[in-house]
Structure 1
């Protein structure tokens, strides 16, 4: 069993309510029985419930990095509050008696081990290059439906453009929403969401000039997305044997949800990777109808800044784990990478945690970009593409962080300046926190920033998310 800490248990919980409920069970001494196996690979116990019989719960680390939670309660959450309470009791130093694993639990462990062995045998028997066969008829039918949906979306965008942004009242936007809703039958959820984003922008209470600027940018994105999607899908329709585009974000923009198995087949996986989270945020994406948890990580081997993004649909949010800030180094056996540009999205299924060390912080510092001019050139080249991420995240080494009039700027070793500002995309201000920092951390440090294009001033700006120092570690401005 890996070292069990309160922070690690927090990371396993589905949401903050589950964390509170689990800790409350420990405070109320709701566990009359607390036990652990002789080899410390499993903890188990009994927790008082609403019925006569206590709930029997356990956490099994037979497979490192992938704990198995079991409980006799009827909850649909995994881990449930009883599993969390059991782990919190362990981290709090409550006495756990060493005892034999109960017979029913031992049988379940044995069955799980046999299933795992069978999986390995099956995997070993398969040819390394074996890939899933494509059902051409089903794929052709799906692509035809997608093209039909794209034609509807194209017509809708044309209608909105011809009417003029100034004449789009509530009734017109409601009709547009109803038409966009119909696209749910055509396997193009990404395009459907892009249309919803447009109507959300047009009905927002912001100043008209700001609204129109945002709407024109969104219309440009929609036009490019529709045209490129149409050309791409027409090509796939002619050659259904051709693999899906795993180099760009187009498939995901259309609405494809990449599975780890697909990414593995495309060779988009890395093994034995250590990641350290530099910043974290959660926000509500109304057009998607989802909560989004977004983490910004540095790959300690390559220095790349990568992103984790968990989508929690409003209706099912309580059953999907709510991600949170993580302060440990996460050691991942297999890291799947989504198609992308400067900041590829990543995900993993199994990982172990360890405390971050000064050596880790030195690696982070060493990976920071030192030339602002080169970074700005790369960022500009990316955001020129209508379908590219307009808010790339970069780790920069700066010589000084200075105040200029009412704002702040970063300077590099060559004297190049980069203005700092709060970017609308982030939704949370951080620049007002800069005066609170110790002066020692405003020189020769690294800073994680997210870029944004200020259209009114026609310049690139960056919002600071974290300061990284070899001495103190990570000073988070956003978490």
Structure 2
């Protein structure tokens, strides 16, 4: 239970309201019974609720990275406020009586252990999975519906363009929004989101000139998306045995939600990966109707930079735990890697943690790129593709930082420069924080940056996210 600190419990809560409610239970002395197992891997007790009988709650931390929460309350939040209150009572130093593990929990532990044993007996997750049989009839039906939906989406956009982008009023936008809702019946949620984003750009951008620039960019993306997805789906319709596209993000653009079983089948899963989070942020995606928690991670095995995304739909956000900053090494038992380019998205289900060592940081520093012209060429080639990520993240080795009249420039070993600036996409300034760093952190270090093409000035700029030294990661964006 050494790791069960107040900050750790805070990180387990779904949101700030859950934290407050859990702590309030402790303040009100709502726990008439507080117990712990002899090995301190389990805390359990009773908590007063609205009913006659108190709720029976427990927190099993036999696996530090995957605590198990149980409670007899009807809440759909995990952990519920009673679980949180139980943990806050423990961190506050309340007296927990040492008693045997209740039989019902012992039985559940035994069942969980048997499931784990069964998993170990299954084939190596990194080995090529046996291809699942495809229900061709259902697949053809789905693809036919997708192609029909794309045709409807194309007509919607064509109608908007022919009406004149500058003449679209609120009534026309409302009509387009209602038509876009109908696309939900055609298995193309990604395309539907791209159209929603276009409509939001019309409504939210006050600067008309800037709005037109964003709208044209989004129309270019939609045109490419319609063309490529139609060609791809038509090919699969003609040949149902054709494998899914795992060389690009097209499937995700259309709206496919990759399952780990599928990624395993296509050889995109490996065992025993270690990652260190270098930057983290949360933001609102109005087009998707979701909150998004996004982290950028260094893969200690191959030096690549990955990203994680946790989507929390507005309507269900209170039932889904928020991701947060992680400062230790994550040891993923099985790492699934989505199709992508510079920063492939990854996910894992089970993991453990360990402390960061100097050798971990050294490996990350050694994987950083040293030539700015090569990086810029690579980034520009990616940005040129309408369906590619327009904001790739790279870690760069730099020899120094120079101050300009308006901002800073990063300098590589050959004297080549890279402008640093806050990019609109992030909406969170970090460049000014460089002036607060010790000068030793501004020479011969590694910096994690996010790129964006400034079309008005026709130049590529980068926003600093973190500085990786030999001893620590200095985060400018948490």
Distance 2:32 2:438 in 1: 48
Who is 1:278 aligned against? 278
- Residue 452 of structure 2 contacts residue 460 of structure 2 at CA under 8 Å; is this kept in 1? yes
- Residue 128 of structure 2 contacts residue 266 of structure 2 at CA under 8 Å; is this kept in 1? no
- Aligned pair in 2 of structure 1 residues 450, 23: CA closer, same or farther (>3 Å)? same
Tell me whether 60-69 or 286-295 shows the greater mean CA deviation: 60-69
- Aligned pair in 2 of structure 1 residues 107, 172: CA closer, same or farther (>3 Å)? same
Who is 1:476 aligned against? 475
- 1:188-237 Cα distance to aligned partner (Å, 9 max, x none): 01011111111111222331211111111100100000000000000000
Who is 1:42 aligned against? 42
RMSD: 2.1
Distance 1:96 1:372 in 2: 58
Distance 1:422 1:355 in 2: 31
Tell me whether 36-45 or 270-279 shows the greater mean CA deviation: 36-45
Does residue 223 of the first structure (1) align with residue 217 of the second (2)?
no
What runs of 5+ residues in structure 2 fail to find an aligned partner? none
- 1:15-62 Cα distance to aligned partner (Å, 9 max, x none): 222233333434444434333323333222233334443322112245
Aligned pairs for 1:424-443 (under 5 A) are 424-443=424-443
Secondary structure, in 3 states, of the residue corresponding to 2:364?
helix
Secondary structure, in 3 states, of the residue corresponding to 2:464?
strand
- Aligned pair in 2 of structure 1 residues 459, 128: CA closer, same or farther (>3 Å)? closer
Who is 1:375 aligned against? 375
Tell me whether 97-106 or 108-117 shows the greater mean CA deviation: 108-117
Does residue 59 of the first structure (1) align with residue 63 of the second (2)?
no
Who is 1:103 aligned against? 103
Does residue 252 of the first structure (1) align with residue 252 of the second (2)?
yes
Deviation of the 1:476 alpha carbon = 1.5
- Residue 338 of structure 1 contacts residue 346 of structure 1 at CA under 8 Å; is this kept in 2? yes
Secondary structure, in 3 states, of the residue corresponding to 1:240?
coil
Distance 1:384 1:15 in 2: 39
Q: TM-score by structure 2 length?
A: 0.94
Deviation of the 1:180 alpha carbon = 1.0
Who is 1:136 aligned against? 136
Distance 1:122 1:295 in 2: 31
Aligned pairs for 1:112-261 (under 5 A) are 112-117=112-117, 129-261=129-261
- Aligned pair in 2 of structure 1 residues 435, 268: CA closer, same or farther (>3 Å)? same
Deviation of the 1:433 alpha carbon = 1.9
Q: TM-score by structure 1 length?
A: 0.94
- Residue 452 of structure 1 contacts residue 460 of structure 1 at CA under 8 Å; is this kept in 2? yes
Deviation of the 1:251 alpha carbon = 0.3
Who is 2:293 aligned against? 293
Secondary structure, in 3 states, of the residue corresponding to 1:88?
helix
Deviation of the 1:64 alpha carbon = 6.2
Aligned pairs for 1:82-93 (under 5 A) are 82-93=82-93
- Residue 128 of structure 2 contacts residue 264 of structure 2 at CA under 8 Å; is this kept in 1? no
Secondary structure, in 3 states, of the residue corresponding to 1:275?
strand
Who is 1:316 aligned against? 316
- Aligned pair in 2 of structure 1 residues 91, 357: CA closer, same or farther (>3 Å)? farther
Aligned length: 476
Deviation of the 1:284 alpha carbon = 0.9
- Aligned pair in 2 of structure 1 residues 2, 330: CA closer, same or farther (>3 Å)? farther
Distance 1:259 1:365 in 2: 32
Tell me whether 39-48 or 418-427 shows the greater mean CA deviation: 39-48
Over 6 Å off, 4+ runs: none
- Aligned pair in 2 of structure 1 residues 328, 27: CA closer, same or farther (>3 Å)? farther
